[in-house]
Every structure is written in structure tokens, then in C-alpha cells.
Amino acid sequence: MSYLKPLTTVVVDDSLTTRALIAAALKRDPRIKVVGTAGTPFEARDLIVRLNPDVLTLDFEMPSMNGLQFLEKIMRLRPMPVVMVSGRLSSHQGLVEQALRMGAAEWYSKMVLGSGEEPFVGLGDAIVRAAATKNKPLVSEGGSLRARVMATTKTGTVVGIGASTGGVEALTDVLEHFPKDCPATVIVQHMPKQFSESFARRLGRVVKPDVRLAEEGDVLKPGIVYVAPGGERHLRIRGGARTGEYVCQLVTAPPVNGHRPSVDELFYSLAATVGKNAVGVILTGMECDGAQGLLAMRHAGACTIGQDRASSVIYGMPRAAYELGAVDTQLPLSAIGPAILNLCERRSLETYP
């Protein structure tokens, strides 16, 4: 297999000497570029989040958490090609089999050197073979996105989306990217009461997650998209004091920004209850509903996304949020669904190990 650019690799080993030897060996291989080294799983986690390497080499023996324990977390939270590097290959075949079952692509023994050979000969070949597995399933269904988004809290990352004019088509576009086990997602779409139920049913027929109208007391769960009922009440999210879960609350109150339900009401509640474990998204729509609430979410540590002008039917709501400083990232509609999933995975990985 040939590569147009070198495979970026992070080397994880508790020995400074071994890290240096591996980096030196790989530096001689034009197919590979070492972009970082780490001596602990905690350092490795930060490098994975920041550098997004193509391949990870992972030592079995490390302080505070062994390589298999860290491998298990990687496969749940951020599946990627991993080469296990160890001196235990010949005497601990069971560990090799366990690592491969858990999702490791390759296992390289530190003891493969023959007389006069350079250290870590052949490791580059193992990295290239591992990289070839990148687009293949690395984990079973139990290690799917559901497991990754459940990492931050008992409920997991929560996605809040607000939309108005043009939002029906925009929401369909975003949610078509979501897998069946998507993050718990809550939507406020401005529309009359008589249309919201049929909208939820229609959306549920064309996307993979379960789509339903939010009801009082619904517990947010991954794999479910909750649509605010139109017309009479606002949808807020509150925390379950005893369970640690997030719960739908339908509140009778005057319209906000001329709307009921209001995107601002949803976003304010997510800022107060979910905080940094939320992702806020504002899509096409008139006027400014949702801008202040999205700003509150950003101040609370949530990631925020706004639809760009070119892809919006009406750029009013996204523009108001952007000009207010509420938007972390402004994206075309086609990129928003994948970006949400990427942010949820990143948030989950940042909390582990």
C-alpha cells in the first residue's frame, strides 16, 4: 500500500528510552511521521484529542493503567488503529489474543531483534498494516457510538437544536447523518401545534434514530430525538436530582421572542443543567430566537454550531447568534451533522481515562 503523505503516529510507552528508540526507528521510515510521544495514558489521551493521529503504538506496561485497560477505553470512546508494543509476546499469547479481540490491529514484540539488527525493525510495517484497518469495524456493537456518548454522564452528551423557517428540511439533512445510537437530541422547531406531531412522524420515517414528541417527564436517552410540541408550552431540560439523568419539562408560560416553544428557553435550560456536556446548534430561521440562549450555552462550556449564510433559507437566527458571539463554529448545512457527532466523541474522550 502506498501513501500520499506519511501516517501520523503517536508513541505511548512509560520508558523515556524506549520512546526515543521507537521515534528514532520510525523517523527512518518515510511512510511514517511521529507527531507525539506520551509516557502515561493521561498524556496519550490529550495527544489523541489534539493531534488525531492515524495510528497509535501502545505499550502494555504503564503506570496507573496498563495498555489493555487503555486500549479498552480507546475502542469505546475513539476507535482507531492501535499497534500494541510489548516484550511479552512469546510468553503471554493470551494477552495478544485479548488485545486483538478488543480491537488492536497489530501486536509487535520488542523481542523480535536478531543479531546486529536495528531496534524496532519491522515496527513501521506493523503501523502501515494497522492503518489499513482504519475504515474497517474495530469494535463490536457494544463499543458503538452509544457507548462513547454515554461516557460523560449517566445520560451522556446532549444535543440541542433550534430552527424556524426552512428548518424542516434542514433538520432532516442534519439527522440523516445520525446513527441509530445517536446522542440524546432535543429539538425546538417553530411550527403550529397541529403540525408538530406529523412532523415528528415524518422525520422518524427518514432517519435512523427514534423520533418522538417530547412529553413531560421523558428521560433523555441516546438513540432518541425529542421534538418539542408546538404552540402551547416551552420545552426545558432539568436534571434528575437523585438519578443524574436529564428530563423533559413542558412549561406553560408566555411566548419568548414571539414563539412558544422558544429556542432560547431550551438553550437556557441546557446551559444551566447540562453545561459543558451539551452541543448547541442553531439553524435557518427568521429574527433572533435562540441567540441569547446559545450564548449562555457557550459561556457554560458547551460546543456551539451555527448554520452559515449560504446554506440557510433565512439567515436571521444563525446571524443573530453569530454576531452575538454565541457560535463557536459556523458551517454549511451538509457539514453540521458530522460535526455534531465528532464533537460528541471528542467530549467523551476528553473525560477519559
Tens-digit pLDDT profile for residues 226-242: 999 998 899 999 986 45
Over the stretch 203-219, which tens digit does the pLDDT of each residue have? 999 999 999 999 999 99
pLDDT score of 266 more than 80: yes
Query: Can you give the pLDDT at residue 169?
Result: 94
> Exactly one of 59, 181, 264, 289 is catalytic; which is it?
289
Reference 38, options 17, 61, 16; nearest CA is 16
Which of 135-139, 272-276, 279-283, 302-306 bottoms out in mean pLDDT, i.e. has the lowest?
135-139
CA gap 229, 318 in Å, rounded: 22
Measure the CA–CA gap between 132 and 332, rounded to whole angstroms. 31
Q: What's the pLDDT at 260? A: 95
Strand order in the sheet with 7-12: 32-38, 7-12, 55-59, 82-86, 106-109
| Average pLDDT value for residue range 2-6 | 66
pLDDT score of 57: 95
Highest-pLDDT range among 45-59, 86-100, 140-154: 45-59
What average pLDDT score do residues 323-345 get? Answer: 89
Residues 6 or more apart in contact with residue 223 via CB below 8 angstroms: 146, 180, 181, 182, 184, 209, 210
Amino acid 61: pLDDT:
76
pLDDT value at 33 more than 70: yes
What is residue 1's predicted lDDT score, i.e. its pLDDT?
A: 43
Task: Give every CB contact of residue 288 below 8 A, 6+ residues apart in sequence.
Answer: 257, 316, 317, 320, 321
User: What spatial distance separates the first Cα and last Cα of the chain, rounded to whole Å?
Assistant: 34
- Highest average pLDDT, of 74-83, 91-100, 299-308, comes from 299-308
| Average pLDDT of the segment spanning 182-196 | 92
pLDDT in tens, 281-333: 999 999 999 999 999 999 999 999 999 999 999 999 999 999 999 999 899 99
In whole angstroms, give the CA distance from residue 170 to residue 317. 13
pLDDT of residue 89: 47
What's the rounded mean pLDDT across residues 130-147? 52
Q: Give the per-residue pLDDT at 68.
A: 84
Indicate which residue of 86, 164, 311, 312 is catalytic.
164
The reply to whether 164 belongs to the active site is yes
* pLDDT number for residue 86: 75
**Mean pLDDT (whole number) for 24-30:** 92
Of 39-48, 117-126, 292-301, the one with minimum mean pLDDT is: 117-126
DSSP helix/strand/coil, 195: helix
List the single range of 184-193, 225-234, 239-248 with lowest mean pLDDT: 239-248
- pLDDT for 147 beyond 60: no
Query: What pLDDT sits at residue 255?
Result: 94
Long-range contacts of 1-6 (CB under 8 A, 24+ apart): 1/128, 1/132, 3/31, 3/128, 3/131, 6/30, 6/31, 6/32, 6/33
In the block, cell 448554520 appears at 307
**Band of pLDDT at residue 144, cut at 50, 70 and 90:** very low
Question: What are 39's three cell numbers?
Answer: 509516557
| pLDDT mean over 4-11 | 89
For residue 19, which of 166, 107, 123 has the smallest C-alpha distance? 123
Question: Residue 108 in 3-state DSSP?
Answer: strand
Contact 109, 87 (CB under 8 A): yes
User: 317, 282 in Cβ contact below 8 A?
Assistant: yes
| 90 backbone φψ class: left, alpha, beta (φ>0; ψ -120 to 50) | alpha
pLDDT at 88: 52
Helix (H, G, I), strand (E, B) or coil at 138: coil
pLDDT at 134: 66
Cis peptide before 6 (omega within 30 of 0): no
- Whole-number average pLDDT of the chain: 84
> Does the annotation count 289 as an active-site position?
yes
Question: Which residue of the set 59, 190, 269, 348 is catalytic?
Answer: 190
Q: What percentage of the chain has pLDDT greater than the value 90? A: 58
Cβ atoms of 282 and 318 closer than 8 Å: yes
pLDDT at 5: 84
